[in-house]
């Protein structure tokens, strides 16, 4: 096993994937705690579809760098979706379903009339560790540092808004600002992580680590830290097996997350009994 790990680290694309993947997994897991607790779990799925749609449109229009186009569009959609969540006239799950299926349909239609379903598009759909270029790595590191910095700075306020939004508003917190912050950071993490995890699987690294951590951690701080550790651990194990058995990276990471979730659910039940 150590020989295989050593062999992996000799490959530059694997090193790039490990750096980006670890950072994105960490950021996704931290944001995931708030999203899961605020019952916005589906938003990650919706945003990744929007990310796919806009990326294929950008590629179809001949853009070489897709991230600078995809990030602002996905941020706008994320803010709109969270606003819909607070509007009782429209059900937020319906809005997410409409937006995600429409974005995916646009993406597929644009692909059909332009490049066709080539390797690039498949990588966007299912993820690939080969997809990370040096510019992606630099952008991902920069974005992840910003996300981590903002998360730490606003940790207390994000906790207050996540636990009880009405109370936070009543004592004078600008809750809309913090909800938007969660939306913006989530959108960025999804777009950055999409290339490696794939459109169809990226939302799982937001949801799984938080849910797994909640099975055994009994304080918010521990859930946040535990979620981050679980996420990075699952990513590293996932990428190892993905390399060894030549399985799609995104799929392998989700499978490791699922196994850990089931294991922690079992442990939680045993402890309670």
Number of residues that bind another protein (CB under 8 A): 27
Contact 148, 216 (CB under 8 A): no
Residue from 87, 167, 259, 262 in contact with another protein (CB under 8 A):
167
Question: C-beta of 158: minimal distance to another protein in Å?
Answer: 10
Of 100-159, which residues contact another protein (CB under 8 A)? 152-153, 155-157, 159
Tokens of 25: 């997994």
Residue 124 or 178: which CB sits closer to another protein?
178
Question: C-beta of 91: minimal distance to another protein in Å?
Answer: 17
Per-residue contact flags (x/-) with another protein for residues 3 to 32, judged by CB under 8 A: ------------------------------
Q: For residue 41, what are the contacts with CB-CB under 8 A and spacing of at least 6? A: 35, 203, 206, 207
Residue from 223, 239, 254, 260 in contact with another protein (CB under 8 A):
223
DSSP state of 130: G
DSSP state of 122: H
Tell me the Ramachandran region of residue 91: left when phi exceeds 0, alpha when psi lies from -120 to 50, beta otherwise: beta
Tokens of 9: 């680290």
Task: Give dist(CA 213, CA 174) in Å, integer.
Answer: 29
Q: For residue 124, what are the contacts with CB-CB under 8 A and spacing of at least 6? A: 52, 55, 56, 194, 195, 198, 199
Residue from 11, 138, 170, 259 in contact with another protein (CB under 8 A):
170
Residue 98 or 146: which CB sits closer to another protein?
146
Question: C-beta of 214: minimal distance to another protein in Å?
Answer: 5
Task: Give residue for tokens 């995809």.
Answer: 70
Residue from 71, 160, 187, 234 in contact with another protein (CB under 8 A):
160
84 binds another protein (CB under 8 A): no
List residues near another protein by CB under 8 A: 37, 152-153, 155-157, 159-160, 163-164, 166-174, 214, 217-223
């Amino acid at each position: 096993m150590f020989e295989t790990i050593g062999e992996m680290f000799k490959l530059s694309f694997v090193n790039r994937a490990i750096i980006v993947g670890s950072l994105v997994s960490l950021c996704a897991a931290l944001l995931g705690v708030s999203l899961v607790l605020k019952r916005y779990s589906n938003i990650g799925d919706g945003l990744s579809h929007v990310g796919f749609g806009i990326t294929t449109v950008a590629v179809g229009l001949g853009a070489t760098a897709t991230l600078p186009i995809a990030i602002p569009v996905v941020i706008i959609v994320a803010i709109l979706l969270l606003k819909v969540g607070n509007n009782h006239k429209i059900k937020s799950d319906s809005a997410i379903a409409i937006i995600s299926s429409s974005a995916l349909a646009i993406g597929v239609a644009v692909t059909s009339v332009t490049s066709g379903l080539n390797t690039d598009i498949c990588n966007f759909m299912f993820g690939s560790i080969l997809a990370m270029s040096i510019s992606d790595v630099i952008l991902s590191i920069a974005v992840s540092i910003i996300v981590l910095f903002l998360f730490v700075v606003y940790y207390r306020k994000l906790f207050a808004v996540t636990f009880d939004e009405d109370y936070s508003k009543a004592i004078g917190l600008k809750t809309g600002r913090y909800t938007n912050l969660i939306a913006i950071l989530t959108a960025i993490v999804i777009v950055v992580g999409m290339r490696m995890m794939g459109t169809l699987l990226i939302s799982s690294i937001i949801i799984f680590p938080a849910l797994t951590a909640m099975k055994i951690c009994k304080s918010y701080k521990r859930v946040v830290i535990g979620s981050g550790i679980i996420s990075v651990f699952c990513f590293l194990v996932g990428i190892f097996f993905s390399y060894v058995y030549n399985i799609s990276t995104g799929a392998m990471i989700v499978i490791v997350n699922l196994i850990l979730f089931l294991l922690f659910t079992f442990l939680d039940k045993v402890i309670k009994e």
